[in-house]
Amino acid sequence: MVVNGDLTDGPVAPFKPLVYNVLIERNTIMPLTPKYRRILLKLSGEGLMGDRQYGIDPDTIERICDEVKGVHDQGVQICLVMGAGNIFRGVSSTAKGVERTSADYMGMLATVINALAVQSTLENLGVPTRVQSAIPMATVCEPYIRRRAVRHMEKGRIVIFAAGTGNPFFTTDTAAALRAVEMNCNALFKGTQVDGVYDSDPKENKKAKRFDKLTYQEVLAQDLRVMDASAIALARENEVPILVFSIHNPGGFAEVVFGGGTYTIIN
């Protein structure tokens, strides 16, 4: 269990059946305690689409939330930052004809839609959850207040951060790095479409090289674009490791949190 951000010698709850069964099938032996005590998970909007071309796939979001619950049940404090690529992306062709600042605000509002969907699914699974938005909208969620968010996690709640940083021209990746620093997280987890960082798109290039470990400088120098430069620089300055893994790999999130699985670490 966790008290004020630290693991104690208290009992460790059993894994949620879905996660546990997947790990058993893989012959994965999990250590007794998680490797990371407080983490931030960055979920892209695309990760919520499943096989759809747009919007939210209920089965996909339920599976992801089930895995988040499985890790949370082990006493890990979790916060999330939501993307919005499944609904609207300010810099995409969808935004043509829309002034950039307005387009970015539209994207921020889309992250709130995703955050509320994830909150509803988590609470249906019995996980107490709070949504905090960088753009105040008191009718649907709390405003972002750092000390309140930390206290929520200390009380065993999952906190979902929406609306990015609240400022145009900053991506949700930068928001994830910023919130990870502000929440004093041990690591930033980025769930992506592939199982790590590659030197090119593995879906287009069969010979793409996968990296197990990278430094912040190597990511910037090689322009690998796993996250934008501002996010990488912020994580580097504050020594927050970034772990990139596939959000579509059942049980993968739990494996990585406990020090196993397939991922790329940037530190």
Q: What is the pLDDT of residue 70?
A: 93
For 71-108, write each residue's pLDDT tens digit: 999 999 999 999 998 998 766 655 678 888 998 999 99
- Look-up of token digits 């979902």: 160
Right CATH for 2-266 from 3.10.180.10, 3.60.10.10, 3.40.1160.10, 1.10.357.10: 3.40.1160.10
- Cα(37)–Cα(231) distance, rounded to whole angstroms? 22
Domain boundaries, the chain: 2-266
Mean pLDDT of the chain: 87
Rounded to two decimals, what is the model's pTM? 0.87
The SS3 of residue 70 is: helix
DSSP readout, 39-63? EEEEE-SGGGTTT-SSS--HHHHHH
Query: What is the b/e burial string over 181-216, where b = at least 16 CB atoms within 10 angstroms of the residue's CB?
Result: bbbebbbbbbbbebbbbbeeebeeeeeeeebeebeb
Q: What is the pLDDT of residues 207-264, one digit of tens each?
A: 889 999 999 999 999 999 899 999 999 999 999 999 999 998 888 999 999 988 999 9
User: Which tens digit of pLDDT belongs to each residue from 151-193?
Assistant: 999 999 999 999 999 999 999 999 999 999 999 999 999 998 8
The pLDDT of residue 31: 56
- What is the model's pLDDT at position 92? 65
